[in-house]
Amino acid sequence: MFREVLNTISLLAIPFIITIVLIYASFMKVKVYESFVEGAKDGFNVAVRIIPYLVAILVAIGMFRASGAIELLATWLSPVLSIIGMPVDALPLAIVKPLSGNGSFAIMSHIVESNPKDSYIGWLAATMTGSTETTFYVLAVYFGAVGIYKTRHAVPAGLIADVTGILASLFICQILFL
Amino acid sequence: MLNYIWLFFILSAIIFGALNGRIEEVTEAAFESASTAVTLAIGLIGLMAFWLGIMKIAEDAKLITLISKLVKPIAVKLFPDIPSDHPAIGSMVMNITANMLGLGNAATPLGIRAMEDLNKLNKHKGIATNSMCTFLAINTSSVQLIPIMAIGILRQAGYTNPTQLIGATIFASVVSTIAAIIAVKLLEKLPLFSVSNYTEEKANV
């Protein structure tokens, strides 16, 4: 039941959003075609902008895996990680997630690329990447903008949200994709 | 921080690679990964262009303003310290809506304006208020409704129905947002984080 509801949302979300946006836009007398082309121009920039981050992270993780270090790490950590059902490959993602959006996106791409298609770990990595924002980046930008240097409970609250996001991703991916 | 993690991955790869006699594979992996990175990014261009086009229409139609009006009553409850007609409420809701739609360019200026509005109500400049922490906790935990870039990566890898990611992501981010709100509301009551703590500290220095 729960599974069906989520799958229906997934299936309909994009066509629904497109319909709402287009109907509301024509109601507001927006020149839809011209706006679309204007926005689409950014597609190239966004894709090209992530290349340096992708290269930096994919190279580091790729080298790390090729060296055999990841197997060693897996043997040490698997007793802990297996309790929550987290594959060891997803660990770098969990660590980098709160620090860098581009970095965690790159790690997710690596996990998806280096595992067979439709694998649980690929879905998990993609869900984890999407489930929370880059906590430290957001805090730095927004507190920095108004000169707040005592951040009180913002960091612990943000990290609690990150950990919960990871656990919720594990839970939902085990239901949907395992 | 990311500097150290990156350094750790590369140096330990070379050291372990040398010890395991896999140094050649490590070098090859570096070259291979660097090319893969570019292939992946180039493969995203079409999808990103399409989605950013749609989102530009949403932006031009001022859809953010419409959604913000609908969510405002919830926001008023979450920020009890702020008068409900204060501009801070409006800019916070607009920022969170823009983030959910994935309008990154529009979201950041709105978020900064929200922080400036919140700071006008701040009695102790330099120290975060409860409302600021609540706003940022929600901001860091709530995300894009449609994770279009991740869907693009799954598509390129040949995943069946990559849009299934939407349901999973919405579930995980709703849970993390609820956790963020509960955490921020409980933590603000702890003596450890009370404002007086920081003002005294300042006086001592």
> Is B55 among the domain residues?
no
Q: Is residue B203 over pLDDT 70?
A: no
Pairs of residues, one from chain A and one from chain B, whose beta carbons lie less than 8 Å apart: 378
Q: Tell whether B103 and B133 lie within a shared domain.
A: yes
Q: Tell whether B81 and B135 lie within a shared domain.
A: yes
Q: Do B164 and A10 touch (CB under 8 A)?
A: yes
- The count of domains in chain B is 2
Q: Do B33 and A161 touch (CB under 8 A)?
A: no
> Contacts of residue B132 in chain A, CB cutoff 8 Å?
142-143, 148, 154
Q: What is the structure's pLDDT at B201?
A: 58
For range A109-126, the mean pLDDT:
93
* Distance of residue B133 Cα from the nearest chain A Cα, in angstroms: 5
- Give percent of chain A with pLDDT exceeding 90: 46
For range A159-166, the mean pLDDT:
92
Q: Tell whether B71 and B109 lie within a shared domain.
A: yes
> Is B53 among the domain residues?
no
Q: Is residue B166 over pLDDT 90?
A: yes
Residue B70 touches chain A, beta carbons under 8 Å: no
> Is B52 among the domain residues?
no
Coil/strand/helix, residue A130: helix
> Is B38 among the domain residues?
yes
First-last CA distance in chain A: 17
Q: Is residue B117 over pLDDT 90?
A: yes
Higher pLDDT, A178 or B106: A178
Q: Tell whether B173 and B84 lie within a shared domain.
A: yes
Q: Is residue B189 over pLDDT 70?
A: yes
Its pTM stands at 0.87
Q: Tell whether B158 and B186 lie within a shared domain.
A: yes
Q: Tell whether B84 and B5 lie within a shared domain.
A: no
Q: Tell whether B85 and B157 lie within a shared domain.
A: yes
Residue A51 burial by CB count (10 A; 0-12/13-18/19+): exposed, middle or buried?
Answer: middle
Q: Output the CA–CA distances (angstroms, integers) from residue A102 to A133, A137, A139, in the order listed.
A: 11, 11, 16
Q: Tell whether B120 and B41 lie within a shared domain.
A: no
Q: What is the structure's pLDDT at B200?
A: 64
> Is B54 among the domain residues?
no
Domains of chain A, by residue range, sit at 50-177
Domain that holds residue B40: 1-45
Q: What is the structure's pLDDT at A99?
A: 82
Q: CB neighbours of A157 closer than 8 A, spacing ≥ 6?
A: B133, B137, B180, B183, B184, B187
Q: Is residue B205 over pLDDT 50?
A: no
